[in-house]
Structures are given as structure tokens and as C-alpha cells.
Structure 1
């Protein structure tokens, strides 16, 4: 791990960051001579599309669901097929931005979602793409991946393509001022998990470690502040930057066991992704500590916790840190039945694209033990 000679490729959208930048989205659309704009958003953000000052004919798909599934995607694609936009704007959290990526590439391509699962199978893109995050967690605005749930198998389908990289990511922390404390906490830990898992991955690289560790430090510094006072603009900006850094980590390095173990909570029990990551985070951080002790100590320091790599101490301190944010840290409190844990462990263990990155080998039985520790 952390091999300076390992090849790595980095791609980035054009980035506009800072308070008030949402107003520039319309200017960017005009610069592209966009005349038919499709905004992909959840219901809340669909009601405030005017903040973007978009020109031309604008249609809004305002039905993005948390943890979107294939039927949700198909409804968005049907609108895009009918409207034929020349610009797609993702406006919302990671779910909206992930669907926006797919809406920008699938209509008119002859490809279905099942044709493009995996890396670099997308044929191309016919519409421009601008991403405008309204939460600080996924970092989807800066990446090339999209996730949707297949209800037939209750698993997440992952698509990765450079064609899904946004032309521009407009990150206005002021848009996150309305996010309630519980969602702020959960999405903040999602950003933290992206950074920490990339930092401790088998594929960790110094070029990404820079973003990963600084992202963790930003979360450690600003997440408790934003939870206490949602109007703290500096804290909101710090978290928006941490989220972006976490998104930078996802392309060339990606996540590890934490996300693999969290995914069944969302696909099977509709637990919000950030909350699923939060309840699992202390347990996978502790499990991996013996394999990456120095990096674990750096993560603990970033959160203002004792600089230890002892498994029990890491799990206890990290769980307390998350709980102090007001997060429910027991699976039972999230409505996950204990009888479903074995099936979830089997599903999580099959997510090799993530588990093969983990710094410590983890068996299906050990995943089950992690679930039971969090139950």
C-alpha cells in the first residue's frame, strides 16, 4: 500500500466552490448555449430549482428517491427520452446526482442499465452534465460512478464511466444550510467513510492520501459544529469540501469493507446510505486497525480521539464519536431484524469490487460478527 510508483489516473470536472456559486449554474448553461435543460432532483430541491436561474426550456424530474432503484431510474429516463435535453443538471444529494449521470448517458444510446454495469461500458454521452450537490456526503459531483438498487436481487448495481464525469461541479455550501441535524450527521460520516476507506485501502496512493486524510480532518473539525448549529456557514463549507475530497477518493482508489457491509442495509431495509455507513464505520475501522495501525492512529487523531490502533479501543471511541452526533448506532434501532443478518453477510461478502480493496482479509463469518456487534 501507498506505493509512490503505482500507476494512477485522476479525472476531475471543472469545479466552482463557495457561497453563492449556485447562481452561476444558469450562466454556465448559457455559455453552453443550452436550450433544453432537464433537472434531476428530489422533491425538496425540485421546489427550489429557481435558485439555479436556468435559461431556456426547463423540465424537472423531481421524484428521485433515497437509495434509488431501477424503476425510479426508468421514470427519469422516460422523461429524458421524451424531452431530449441538451443539458442535464443533477440537483440534490448523491441519489439525484447518480441518476443525473445515468440520464445523461443512457437515453438514445441503445443501452440499458444492465448493459453498463461495471467499469467503462457506457457508449458515450449526448447531453452536457452539471452537478449541484445540496448535501455534504457522497461527493458524487466529482466522480464517475453511479449506484442504483435492483429490486429483483436487492443489491446495488455500480456503473463507472468517464462519460459520466460532470462538465462542471458547482458546490455552494449555502445550499446545505437547510439540511437537518440528523441528515447532516449521517451524510458527514458517509464523507468520512469515503476518505478513511480510501486512506486505508490496499490500493491507497499518496496522490489520494492527500485528499483522504485532509477530508477526515475536515469532518473531525466541522461535523460536530454543523450538527450543533446548522447555520454555521464555515462548518457547512468545511463539510462540502470534505465531501468533495471523499468523491475524489472514489475514482482511482474507491471504498473497502465499510461500504460493502453497509450496502445491504440500504438495498434490503432502505436505511439511508449515510446512516448505514455510520453504524458500520467504527466496526470496520477497528477490524482493519491491525493491518494499518499507523494510518488508523492518524484517522483517530483527525477525529480528536486517542491515537490508538487497538481494536477494542478504536471501536469504542469511534462509536461514541458517532453517537455524540445523535446517530443511532444499533441495527435494531434502524429496523434491521437479527434474523436477516446471515443473508446480509452473504450478500456483503459477494461485493468483491470493494472487499478485494480491504487491507485485511474478511470472511463472511467475520462480516456476520460485525453485524452482530452492531446489532
Structure 2
């Protein structure tokens, strides 16, 4: 773990507008920038409410799928031809695709030319991100993930050129999110914060954002699940997701996300629920290596975790109290696949190398079986 004197670079969108009603400022910003051909990347839910953006002459790719793959991304890039600003309008999948579309459109390059760290060329178009869930924090980040269907693994692309010119975080956009999606995406936001907080490369500056994000989830997530119209709770979760996105840039996630990824790539579980299913188990597995920080996480979530079994039971109870079924078997995951999933997850070294505990293939399989 890094110290306060360790160098750290943080990057944010050029403009961040946070709060109720900020969605209404988009159209004026587009006009002020002189954009004439806005292109929206959205899922099927948000396609139905494009009017909320207040834009003219807008075109849209509305076929974003959960856990998008390279083919889904390529269709979005093709549809974006002729645009001058790309707008991600949705959850993490829509915003991740918007980043990739923005650096690929008008460019004579393919995805393979930019995948990985720091390979994308400067973009030729503007980029706006508008989250409609409180989960991924993708609106504030430089990283995007899509699935390679041949390997069934997630490919991460990272570039400062995928950082938005404008991020609009308007909690009213999340008011209609169903209770179970609210629960799962909220746990995902928390997992971003927790994994960065306990990472080997955690930093005191990022720790501040991480702990605040965890506390916000502990305070507001159950309220938002029980009453989706609770404006204060929705705003608290939007801020928690934003803080989680801040944590992802310089620190990123660790074992929780690595172990959850096969659930999405193989069985198309939404990213939020995949992370929620794994969260209690990796929090407990890492507890012996980060006891003080784990105790702070547990306190923020409303329980005391003095032993590893206590941590697991408390974190699982927190998630179950949100109405989530925390059994892998309940989400269509075949038991016979757990061993191969463990090998696949163990290969995600870009995340697991920073986990506070060195998890073997057998350790990961044991986590899957415990969660099953």
C-alpha cells in the first residue's frame, strides 16, 4: 500500500455537473460547443427517453446489450458515422461503448489497434457521459471493457482520450431503476470503493474517496431499494458511484471483480449482480491481510467484523437485506463449470496481482463453491 508521500496522478472529466436537474443543461452545452450531429449510445430502456436530453438532430445506437462484446461495439461505431459528439446515456455498458466509439469514429484504426493501455489516438469528436444507474462510475473514468467472444474474456482499454469532456450526474435519471437493479448496482459501486481501499496500491488520497463511497452506500442503498423516489438516497448513491469511479482510475479493483467477470462473460449476468454475488466472499478472504480497513468497511455497512466468518456473514446479510438472492445456483451458473471458471478468473492478473492476498486457483474455486 502506498504512503501519503507516494506520487499519484488523478484525472477527471473537464466539466462535471452533479445534482438534480443538471440533465437540462446538456442542450445548451452542445450548442455552445458548436456540435451539430450528436450521437447517443444507449440501451433499450434509455432509448425510450431520449427526449430528456433535449437535443435536436440526434441519432442513436440503442442496441447496447449487457456485458457488450466486440461485435456490439463495432455496430455502434458503424452507426456513429458522421457524428461530431458522442453521448453515453445509460449504465456502464453504454458509457464504456461510448468511450470506444468516440476514439474509433473518424479514425482509420480498429479495436485491436487501441485495446490495452494508452494506445488510443486523440479523438476527433466530443464525448459526454450521463449515467442512469448508480453503479459503475464509468462517467469519470478512462477505462472501457468489452468481451472478446472468442476467448470469453474481458478486454480492457484505457486512455486519457476516453475521458469525457462533460459528465452529467443527475440523480433523477436513476429514479425509475427497479429495486433489484438498484441493489446490485449499489453493491457494485461499493465494491469499487472496497477493492481500491484494500488494494496493494491503495493510496491515502483515494482511501478518502473510497471510505466516503462505502459510507454512502451503507447509509442510502437500502433506503433507495425500499423507496426509489427517495431523492436524498438516490443522490447519495449517485455520489457513491462517482467516488467509486474516481477510485478506479489510479488504483482500480482487485479480486472481487476478477472473480465476478466469468459470471458476466459466460452467463451474461449483469455486472452489478455478478459483483454483488462475489463481494462478501472476497471481502472475507482479504480480511486477514487488511484487518483495520476491513473493520472500517464493516462499520460503514452497519455490522462488526472481528473474524473472517463474521465478515462473510455480515456482508452477505447486508446484501440479502436488499432482496438479493446470493446463491450462484439461483442465477443459472452450472456447478460443473466452477473449476474452469476459477482458472479463467485466476488468469486476470491485471487485477489479482494487486489483491492483498495471493489467491490460488483452488482458493478461487473454493470462493465459487461457497457462493454457490
Scaled by the length of structure 1, the TM-score of the pair is: 0.98
Which of 331, 334, 337 lines up with 2:331 in the alignment?
334
Q: What CA distance in whole angstroms lies between the structure 1 residues aligned with 2:112 and 2:171?
A: 35
CA contact (8 A) 1:91 1:134 kept: yes
Contact 1:35 1:86 in 2 (8 A): yes
Matched residue, 2:76? 76
Q: How does 1:96-107 map to 2 (within 5 A)?
A: 96-107=94-105
Task: State the partner residue of 2:29.
Answer: 28
Q: Within 1, Cα distance between the matches of 2:306 and 2:290?
A: 8
| Alpha-carbon shift at residue 2 of structure 1 (Å) | 3.8
Counterpart for residue 344 of structure 2: 347
2:232 pairs with 1:231: no
Match of 1:204 among 199, 202, 214: 202
Indicate whether 1:153 and 2:160 are aligned.
Answer: no
Shift of 1:309: 4.0
* Residue 357 of structure 1 pairs with residue 372 of structure 2: no
1:313 equivalent in structure 2: 310
Question: How many angstroms apart in 2 are the aligned matches of 1:329 and 1:19?
Answer: 33
Question: By how many angstroms is 1:109 displaced?
Answer: 2.1
* Structure 2: segments with no counterpart, 5+ residues: none
Per the alignment, residue 171 of structure 2 pairs with 173
Return the alpha-carbon distance in structure 2 between the equivalents of residues 359 and 109 of structure 1: 40
SS at match of 2:58: strand
Distance 2:75 2:107 in 1: 16
For residues 202 and 325 of structure 1, what CA distance do their matches in structure 2 show? 30
Distance 2:169 2:352 in 1: 31
2: CA distance between counterparts of 1:340 and 1:216? 32
Q: Is the 8 A contact 1:194 1:249 kept in 2?
A: yes
Q: Distance in 1 between matches of 2:20 and 2:314?
A: 34
Are 2:7 and 1:7 aligned? Answer: yes
Partner SS, residue 10 of structure 2 = coil
Question: Which of 81, 106, 122 lines up with 1:124 in the alignment?
Answer: 122
- Once the 2 structures are TM-superposed, how far is the Cα of residue 255 of structure 1 from its aligned partner? 0.1
Residue 374 (str. 1) matches residue 371 (str. 2): yes
Deviations 1:19-66 (A, max 9, x none): 1111111111111110010000011111111111114x2101111111
- Residues 195-237 of structure 1, C-alpha deviations (whole Å, 9 max, x = no match): 0000000010011011000000000000000001011010000
Measure the CA separation in 2 of the matches of 1:147 and 1:283: 24
2:238 aligns to what SS in structure 1?
helix
Output one character per residue of 1:159-182: Cα deviation in whole Å (capped at 9) or x when no partner. 000000000100100010000000
SS at match of 2:370: helix
Deviation of residue 326 (structure 1)?
Answer: 0.6
How far apart are residue 111 of structure 1 and its match? 2.0
Question: Structure 1 stretches (4+) deviating beyond 6 angstroms?
Answer: none
| Matched length | 371
1:139 to 114, 137, 140: 137
TM-score (norm 2): 0.99
Distance 2:143 2:316 in 1: 29
